[in-house]
Structure 1
Amino acid sequence: MRVFVAVVPPPEVVSALEDLLAPRREAVAAREEWRWTRPEHLHLTLAFVPDLQEWREEELVEEGQRYADRHRPVDLRLAGAGAFPDPGLARVLWAGVEEGEPGTLAAWAKGLRAVASHAGARVDGTRFTPHVTLARAVGGRHPAGHLVQSLDTLRTPVWSASRIDLVASYLGQGPGGTPRYETRHSWTLGE
């Protein structure tokens, strides 16, 4: 099973982001270079597990709960934008994340990757950059500097990230061939 551990922004943050993105999506829609992330799919991935064996899920849930119990919420805000691998020719357009306590998300990513590994999962080990994917390039890479620049003023309301979700991703099973996401478990962080 393909899963990820993530922080999901609350509805008011998603709504503020959608309000800002709408005119930018419309401005580039005719070129059909970008597939925009559906609002219900917006999330900040902390750990990605490309193939979790189903019989290991229960152990991951238990380990994740122990981890969550030892950590407290952090204030977050989406701010600014960037592109991977770079704005000149990008595959991914993303919103940046500001943390009330810098370094917390990197520590969470490291800790939750260790939790998943300890539960017997093979964890994707790419370098962690806190971000929320806004769009993916269609058919290769596309210039994104104009989009990154237009999102420079992005600042959503601050929210308290008090929950971490374990989400299964079923590729191609959503509308228009997009993934279908299913929250398998939510961990509430300790106080």
Structure 2
Amino acid sequence: MTGTKSTRNRRTGRFPQGEASDARLRLFYALKVPDTVAAELAQAQAKLRGNWRRVEPSQLHITLAYLPGVPADRLDDLKRLGVQATRAVGPLDIQLRGTGYFPNEGSPRVWFVKAEAAGLDPLAEALRAGVAELGLETDDKAFKAHVTLARKKGPAPRLPPLVFEDAGWTAGHVSLVRSVLRKTGPIYQTLSRFELRGAPSAGDAAPDLTTEPSAQANLAQLAGAQENS
């Protein structure tokens, strides 16, 4: 991750005044997997052996756009983008398919389940195009809708392919999430969410650009806390 590295007071855990605003945020737009579907995926994760690190069920999601280093003062721009990109999008009927690996050849690093939905690719493309127009950094990977189930941290056997024929959910909103890296795994904080309600009527007011409760209060405290993995 690029950006200014801030120096925190080791005793108080606080940053010098004004320094936290220089920190870079690791963010992504995502569709979160609901608890009922996550529980089914957790049963599949239990089959893993060896050095696979399972993604916690509460953290399972589909990444629509990833932003590895965002200045804190650009957060409002990303909220506005979220509103604009989702304004005319209705709820998405997500269907989970079969499992796979990234990369598929050789020694894989990621185990995932493929996801599909009408309108999913255009939504991801709109968000990614909007991020590029804002002049912010994104990864250069093509969008492939999936839910990451585990990451490999050493030698580990592959599982035979699994198919989820009837697993899925209706996604009613997109989340803007911050990821803070820790040695024990990432901590996710939802900063804002954008409802998928389809095109508003002419008399509808524009959605508020508000964060979820506690997100705004914690943002300054969390800024700069990200560690390199």
Report the TM-score when normalising by structure 1: 0.84
SS of equivalent to 2:100 = strand
How much does 1:148 deviate?
4.0
SS of equivalent to 1:109 = helix
Is 1:168 matched with 2:208? no
Please list the CA deviations of residues 55-95 of structure 1 after superposition, one character each: whole Å capped at 9, or x if unmatched: 11101101211211121121012221000111542110001
1:164 maps to a residue whose letter is V
Name the CA distance, whole Å, in 2 between partners of 1:168 and 1:6.
Answer: 11
2:139 maps to a residue whose letter is D
Question: Residue 7 of structure 1 contacts residue 161 of structure 1 at CA under 8 Å; is this kept in 2?
Answer: yes
Match of 2:190 among 173, 183, 189: 183
Question: Residue 17 of structure 1 contacts residue 156 of structure 1 at CA under 8 Å; is this kept in 2?
Answer: no
What are the residue-to-residue correspondences of 1:123-162 with 2, within 5 Å?
123-139=138-154, 142-144=156-158, 147-149=159-161, 151=162, 153-162=163-172
The residue that corresponds to 2:32 in the other structure is 8
Question: Residue 82 of structure 1 contacts residue 148 of structure 1 at CA under 8 Å; is this kept in 2?
Answer: no
Structure 1 stretches of 5 or more lacking a match? Answer: none
Name the CA distance, whole Å, in 1 between partners of 2:166 and 2:71.
Answer: 37
1:132 maps to a residue whose letter is V
Match of 1:82 among 82, 88, 100: 100
Question: Residue 83 of structure 1 contacts residue 91 of structure 1 at CA under 8 Å; is this kept in 2?
Answer: yes
Percent identity, aligned pairs only? 33
Structure 2 stretches of 5 or more lacking a match? Answer: 1-24, 199-229
Name the CA distance, whole Å, in 1 between partners of 2:76 and 2:107.
Answer: 41
SS of equivalent to 1:89 = coil
Match of 1:21 among 21, 27, 45: 45
Match of 1:62 among 70, 80, 102: 80
1:185 maps to a residue whose letter is S
Give the CA RMSD over aligned residues: 1.8
How much does 1:43 deviate?
0.6
The residue that corresponds to 2:89 in the other structure is 71
Please list the CA deviations of residues 140-167 of structure 1 after superposition, one character each: whole Å capped at 9, or x if unmatched: x6552xx142x2x323533111211110
Could you say which structure has the greater relative contact order, defined with CA pairs below 8 angstroms and 6 or more residues apart? 1
The residue that corresponds to 2:130 in the other structure is 115
Q: Which has the higher helix share?
A: 1
The residue that corresponds to 2:8 in the other structure is none
1:93 maps to a residue whose letter is W
How much does 1:19 deviate?
2.8
Structure 1 pair 88–143 and aligned structure 2 pair: CA distance change class (3 A): farther
Is 1:44 matched with 2:58? no
Question: Residue 173 of structure 2 contacts residue 195 of structure 2 at CA under 8 Å; is this kept in 1?
Answer: yes
